[in-house]
């Protein structure tokens, strides 16, 4: 038996101007009595989260299909025409290698053009960061990239961008959704495009994007001396293949091995060699890691399907290839940028780096030692972009990142950029090798100087409406009964970003609303006397609740690394067991 609201939505789709195939699929589910699938497909409308619109491909208001994509685009088009009255309006559109990405991109282009908006549509798949770059380069008012980033193959998504090349933030995000919600019938969606307003773009944008990344290079002499650095790269069947090999070659790296089995984007978005096309997953990186072992490589790079995230592997102090997590890579990148800027005399006292509140606090500590500000934002690169925007002309952005394998160097792009990150990671590897160090050696030196910070992530998947309700209940329980201690250390501060209240030593104060990158969000953080940080956050793009556990210890020498590392990992595990996170 379907809930009334779900049944009403199903009836709307069965009687509305939807295509015959869609209606047949819905009726088949009804005839089979598949209430669970119908409920999950229709119990809500897809909403903009930290990464925009994202969901399973299929029929229904809670699925990615031509109608949900169409409604989102019509709402965005309506809003653009309201905001920029009397101004020329243009948008850029890109897409990745997923199922229906090219179809959705064409639908989006048609709808924008039907609403009188000029469209710059990439002629083939391209990375998400290049879309951000193109918006700024072409002077567009908005942009869309069709991608579900690193989600499983059954998903697709829709990331919407604003004039500065960043993902849409408040108040525009809420206003766009209001416009989408006003569309009560698909008859209000202008599906029939105006070809005269749709313009193909491609190689000319690629060239300018690559040139911009090359301008970020700091250690050209080190690259020249280490040009035979052995690098293995995999695009995981995604868009990275279009630019990463070209960039590395242009930078001067002459010994790059491509994982050919994963080089070509798979036309139907099946990602045939991986279960989950996510460089955060060790399984996805197996082919590249094995090749690195075979040829004695110094560095492994792997990008996700839309090339906004990058995972890396390096040789550890035992000579073994080891995957680094997002916090470790962010630490190395930011340390290198700070050090290289200092050595180049580029630090003038007005520079800053930026990260999210769930990313390692080691970055804050490093930045402070260089006299560089470090700003913390909510999760989502749109908030980092907001800080860059608000400080433009006042302070100089060096770089930033988040623990989920997303990094940004320079401000020409306003989203995480795996293309530029691959180039800069290769450069910092050459810089380290030029000094007789591996990246792992450099990481240990950082730990000895600033403290050994380790962060663990516990991610629980809770699918469908039942899962969503369970996630909300877990957050409610943590608010009603917060832990008093973690691993034996007293909780001395609680930050609740939903209420924007901080409780410290029994005193309640405000977390300043309106701070750059900070707004009300369903996030809880607990801080203990020994430096442990525990964060609870429902994902904005996946049916998950995530728990981030950060711990810290001192590292006196390299010989103590393994024991200290084991102790920190054991502490994170103990906290998870203590809180019954399962």
* Cα–Cα dist 143/134, whole Å: 9
What's the mean per-residue pLDDT of the chain?
95
**Residue 512 pLDDT greater than 80, yes or no:** no
Walk me through the domains of the chain, giving residue ranges and CATH numbers: 1-43 (no CATH), 62-201 (3.40.120.10), 208-450 (3.40.120.10), 452-578 (3.30.310)
User: What is the pLDDT, as a whole number, of residue 49?
Assistant: 56
Q: How many residues does the chain have?
A: 582
The DSSP symbol for 65 reads S
Show the tokens assigned to 433: 């090798």
Contact 517, 379 (CB under 8 A): no
User: What is the pLDDT, as a whole number, of residue 370?
Assistant: 98
**Residue 312 pLDDT greater than 70, yes or no:** yes
Summarize the confidence of residues 245-251 as an average pLDDT. Answer: 98
User: What is the pLDDT, as a whole number, of residue 48?
Assistant: 65
CA distances from 218 to 206, 350, 398, 464, 565 (A): 21, 19, 12, 48, 32
Annotation says 149 is catalytic: yes
Nearest to 159 by CA among 176, 137, 136, 183: 176
User: What is the pLDDT, as a whole number, of residue 542?
Assistant: 74
Summarize the confidence of residues 67-78 as an average pLDDT. Answer: 94
Q: What is the pLDDT of residues 194-238, one digit of tens each?
A: 999 999 999 999 999 999 999 999 999 999 999 999 999 999 999
> Residues 6 or more apart from 87 whose CB is under 8 A from it?
141
Banded model confidence at residue 51, pLDDT cuts 50, 70, 90: low
**Residue 441 pLDDT greater than 80, yes or no:** yes
User: What is the pLDDT, as a whole number, of residue 267?
Assistant: 57
More confident residue, 49 or 558: 558
* Cα–Cα dist 185/16, whole Å: 8
Banded model confidence at residue 69, pLDDT cuts 50, 70, 90: very high
User: What is the pLDDT, as a whole number, of residue 276?
Assistant: 87
CA distances from 332 to 376, 428, 432 (A): 18, 8, 10
Q: What is the dihedral angle through the alpha carbons of 463, 469, 474, 479, rounded to the nearest 10 degrees? A: 150
**Residue 297 pLDDT greater than 70, yes or no:** yes
Q: 3-class SS at 94?
A: strand
Contact 291, 231 (CB under 8 A): no
Percentage of residues of the chain with pLDDT beyond 70? 98
CB atoms within 10 A of CB 283: 11
Banded model confidence at residue 88, pLDDT cuts 50, 70, 90: very high
- Provide DSSP, 98-137: STTHHHHHHHHHHHHHHTT-EEEEESS---HHHHHHHHHH
Summarize the confidence of residues 257-280 as an average pLDDT. Answer: 88
User: What is the pLDDT, as a whole number, of residue 174?
Assistant: 84
Contact 117, 91 (CB under 8 A): yes
Q: What is the pLDDT of residues 514-533, one digit of tens each?
A: 568 888 999 999 999 999 99
Banded model confidence at residue 270, pLDDT cuts 50, 70, 90: confident
**Residue 541 pLDDT greater than 90, yes or no:** no
Summarize the confidence of residues 423-448 as an average pLDDT. Answer: 98
Summarize the confidence of residues 262-271 as an average pLDDT. Answer: 81
* Cα–Cα dist 327/227, whole Å: 27
Nearest to 136 by CA among 171, 172, 92: 92
* Cα–Cα dist 439/336, whole Å: 10
* Cα–Cα dist 251/472, whole Å: 48
**Residue 173 pLDDT greater than 60, yes or no:** yes
Banded model confidence at residue 513, pLDDT cuts 50, 70, 90: low
User: What is the pLDDT, as a whole number, of residue 514?
Assistant: 55
**Residue 390 pLDDT greater than 90, yes or no:** yes
Helix axes 439-450, 362-369, angle to 10 degrees: 80
Summarize the confidence of residues 101-125 as an average pLDDT. Answer: 98
Burial of 187 (0-12, 13-18, 19+ CB in 10 A): exposed
User: What is the pLDDT, as a whole number, of residue 506?
Assistant: 86
User: What is the pLDDT, as a whole number, of residue 497?
Assistant: 96
Cross-strand bridge partners of residue 54: 157
Residue 222 φ then ψ, to 5°: -65, -40
Strands 118-122 and 90-95, sheet pairing: parallel
**Residue 52 pLDDT greater than 90, yes or no:** no
Choosing from 101, 113, 149, 521, the catalytic residue is 149
Q: What is the dihedral angle through the alpha carbons of 361, 366, 370, 372, rounded to the nearest 10 degrees? A: -20
Percentage of residues of the chain with pLDDT beyond 90? 88
């Amino acid at each position: 038996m379907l809930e009334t609201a779900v049944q009403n939505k199903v009836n709307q789709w069965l009687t509305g101007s939807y295509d015959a195939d869609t209606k047949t699929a819905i009726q088949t589910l009804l005839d089979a009595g598949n209430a669970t699938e119908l409920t999950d497909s229709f119990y809500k409308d897809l909403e903009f989260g930290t990464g925009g619109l994202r969901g399973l491909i299929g029929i229904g208001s809670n699925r990615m299909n031509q109608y949900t994509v169409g409604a989102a685009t019509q709402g965005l088009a309506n809003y653009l025409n309201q905001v920029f009255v009397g101004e020329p309006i243009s948008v850029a559109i890109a897409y990745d290698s997923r199922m229906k990405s090219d179809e959705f991109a064409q639908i989006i282009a048609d709808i924008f053009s039907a609403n009188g908006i000029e469209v710059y549509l990439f002629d083939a798949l391209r990375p998400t960061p290049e879309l951000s770059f193109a918006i700024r380069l072409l002077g567009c008012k908005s942009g869309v990239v069709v991608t579900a980033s690193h989600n499983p193959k059954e998903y697709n998504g829709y990331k919407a961008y604003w004039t500065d090349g960043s993902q849409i933030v408040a108040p525009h995000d809420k206003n766009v959704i209001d416009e989408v919600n006003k569309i009560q019938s698909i008859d209000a969606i202008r599906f029939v495009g105006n070809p005269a307003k749709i313009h193909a773009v491609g190689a000319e944008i690629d060239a300018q994007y690559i040139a911009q990344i090359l301008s970020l290079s700091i250690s050209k002499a080190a690259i020249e001396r280490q040009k035979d650095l052995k690098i293995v790269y995999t695009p995981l069947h995604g868009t990275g293949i279009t630019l990463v090999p070209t960039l590395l070659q242009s930078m001067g790296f002459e010994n790059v091995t491509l994982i050919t089995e994963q080089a070509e984007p798979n036309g139907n978005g099946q990602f045939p060699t991986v279960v989950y096309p996510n460089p955060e997953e060790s399984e996805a990186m197996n082919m590249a890691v094995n090749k690195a072992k075979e040829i004695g490589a110094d560095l492994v790079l792997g990008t996700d399907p839309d090339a906004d995230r990058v995972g890396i592997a390096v040789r550890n102090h035992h000579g073994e290839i080891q995957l680094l997590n997002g916090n470790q890579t962010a630490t190395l990148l930011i340390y290198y940028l700070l050090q290289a800027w200092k050595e180049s005399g580029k630090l003038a006292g007005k520079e800053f780096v930026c990260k999210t509140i769930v990313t390692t606090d080691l970055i804050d500590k490093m930045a402070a030692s260089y006299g560089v500000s470090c700003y913390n934002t909510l999760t989502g690169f749109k908030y980092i972009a907001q800080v860059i925007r608000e400080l433009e002309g006042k302070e100089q952005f060096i770089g930033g990142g988040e623990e989920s394998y997303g990094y940004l160097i320079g401000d020409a792009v306003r989203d995480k950029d795996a293309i530029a990150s691959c180039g800069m990671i290769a450069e910092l590897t050459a810089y380290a090798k030029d000094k007789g160090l591996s990246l792992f050696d450099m990481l240990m030196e950082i730990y000895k100087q600033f403290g050994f910070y380790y962060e663990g992530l516990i991610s629980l998947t809770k699918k469908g409406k039942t899962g969503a309700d369970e996630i909300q209940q877990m957050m409610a329980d943590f608010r009603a009964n917060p832990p008093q201690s973690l691993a034996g250390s007293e909780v001395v501060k609680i930050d609740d970003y939903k209420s924007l209240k901080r409780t410290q030593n029994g005193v309640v104060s405000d977390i300043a609303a309106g701070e750059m990158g900070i707004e009300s969000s369903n996030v809880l953080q607990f801080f203990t006397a020994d430096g442990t940080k525990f964060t609870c956050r429902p994902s904005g793009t996946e049916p998950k609740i995530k728990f981030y556990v950060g711990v810290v210890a001192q590292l006196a020498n390299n010989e103590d690394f393994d024991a200290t590392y084991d102790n920190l990992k054991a502490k994170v595990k103990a906290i998870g067991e203590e809180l019954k996170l399962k």
